[in-house]
Structure 1
Amino acid sequence: MTAHVAVVGASLAGLRAAEQLRIAGHTGPITVLGDERHLPYNRPPLSKEVLAAPGDSSTQRLHEMVTFRRRSLVDDVDFRLGLPVVEADLRRGRLILEDGAVVTFDGLVAATGLRPRRLGLPGPGAGRYVLRTLDDCIALRGVLRPGARVVVVGAGFVGCEVAATALRQGCRVTVVEPTGAPMNRVLGASLAQAVQRHHETAGIDFVIGRSVAGCLGTEAVTGVELDDGRILEADAVIEAVGSLPNVEWLAANRELDLSDGVLCDNQLRAEGADRVVAVGDVARFPNPLFDDVPRRVEHWSIPADTAKRAAATLTAQLTGREPDEAPFVPIPSFWSDQLDLRFQSFGSPALADEVRLEEGDPDRLQAGVLATYHRRSVHVGTVAINLPPARQRALREAFTALVPA
């Protein structure tokens, strides 16, 4: 098959898509286009090991810590890095790059992922950080020094990971979260409050129920003002308030639903387009394991799972075959390391209307806790904290058994 496939996005999802296209039998050219100058790398360590790596390591050394080993089956794939795609014409099969260059394609994989949501705050911009890319991490490494005053806005998983790393680097850390205890949306109120108590005991301060109204300082941030008038001094403000899907490059294609990522069917076909699939964080698709509601899933396991199905779907389309119509039922999973706690989750706990504490004491999280999550009495998720690896594998296998054959 000589059809040319363009993969827009050169992170984990784009890499896995290229690999799976070859595994699915696509022998034609593949071009992977990415706006970052780095070859595909692993993002989760950025908030932990890479952020805390000792010394003033070079960008190359830090990239080596997280870069993915490229499999030989993608040796012939053309990676074009450091030049974003700014527009796509799906009907004509054309991509326009930032420098005006044109790349044509017969099949397209959207793998552009996410970017951090930014707060529209008055005040100076210098001293405000986000953490999504390796370059973000390198910039932030320079300010996490002993004694530095760090305000983290947002108490989701990334916010808590960064707060924990900053604390271990000797910083004075305050987390501001307007909506509730840390990771409340996923963990549920009771377990989230237990995590807050645990982190507070370690030395992280939390301001819950308040938001940041503005940044103080002239040339650089010296603090933040909360919506109740309180002032928090800060040498660095880290915004961890969620993400936005990168779909602007597709905006000219009115037939697509881009209201929250790329709307797809269960086979990862982009609704309204032919020979276009989406993978990873940017794909919004229904998972029959839970219901028929299309959702984006921002878990580390999803790029590989979606790439496998999307590659099979696109390869079938390019060869005139019918795609596999078996239900695509991936099990979302994620982990998070924070101080002396390791979280492991399977399924979609955020969908639950009931949380059941199965094992452990919330006031002794480090000793191990297991919670299950249920929606209308149906088990939809599991969260384990500090359970042994063998037990975590058993829990995953138990949840996998719930997947319909």
Structure 2
Amino acid sequence: MIQHPTQDAGFGVYVHWPFCLSKCPYCDFNSHVRAGGIDESRFLEAFRREIGHAGEMTPGRTVSSIFLGGGTPSLMQPATVAGILDAIATTWSVARTAEVTLEANPTSVEAERFRGYRAAGVNRVSLGVQALDDGDLRKLGRLHSVDEALAAVDVAAKYFGRFSFDLIYARPDQTPKAWRAELGRALSRAAEHLSLYQLTIEPDTWFARLHAAGRLTIPDPEAARVLYDLTQEVCDKAGLPAYEISNHARPGAESRHNLVYWRYGEYVGVGPGAHGRVMTAKGRTATATERSPEDWLARVERHGHGLVEQTLLTREEAGDEFLLMGLRLREGIEPARYRTISGRTLDHERIAELMGDGLIAHRVGARLAVTPAGFPVLDAVVADLAA
């Protein structure tokens, strides 16, 4: 097996199920609505073939985490999920302690289906709750109500030892008082993990068109910063501090799959529009598959995979990615690992200047980490260090 500096960060498998019941107006993910139904058996066979091809690219690895994302993976039948997980287990060795996460929307949560996912091998779910306010749920294009969302959380807690759910803040007209109350309600139901994302206007979304037309207003940067600071304060007090900019967990309950990304491990991407980062004999390689579900399916059936991109990263590009991902984490990065990956040494003068500004600090074991004051300007900090 190839020895490389990302090995200790884990090896993950990401599987993308690209279908949803409806397209949310803020979403720029590769998700699609198909009113005519989905031929799951045909897609399952394609997933099996692409997983096999990915295994040929990454022989000898041990899978530490699996993430079924989307789209809405909880629209899949449990038998389809079981087939995908079986294909992964026959392609690589899967660690006994592997985390296996499935994303779900509250509208697709059924106790019987969740029981089936658990039997298939899923041991963690992530629920797309997004808001605990019925009016805002409608504005966000969500199909569920607050009561349905909380019922879904209860079902998740019953069948899975580990679960998380998402909320979006900095929504139109949202006040700090309302967000504090909503966040408190969420924390009362969150056993170990919450993902809390600030609403941003993404290009080519319905929200982008409304925003450009002056029909949608979100909090300005100063107001959004107040909500961000409030989020940190409330979650810290509740025992779910941020271990990453948008993710909060009790110590030891962090998303292991996402840590593979942020610690710059290796991961394969399977399914329409999935991205990966794998080590080959030549070096770290970025992969991407065809985005269109039907075109991806045809490619896999014709070639055995849906890859449309396999780009060998330069050491400088890999180093930049390592900084961009690793500095999102509260634990920070090891400068020595940056040197191993990039072939460069971080500039000590820039480090000293950023420390002087209170934006970065040293952590245990010579790690370099962004401070709470630096997180809101993370992109600028990373750009300065990478220059």
Q: Calculate the TM-score normalised by the size of structure 1.
A: 0.27
Compare relative contact order (CA 8 Å, sep 6+) and give the higher one, 1 or 2: 2
Higher helix share: 2
Higher strand share: 1
Larger radius of gyration: 1
Q: Calculate the TM-score normalised by the size of structure 2.
A: 0.28
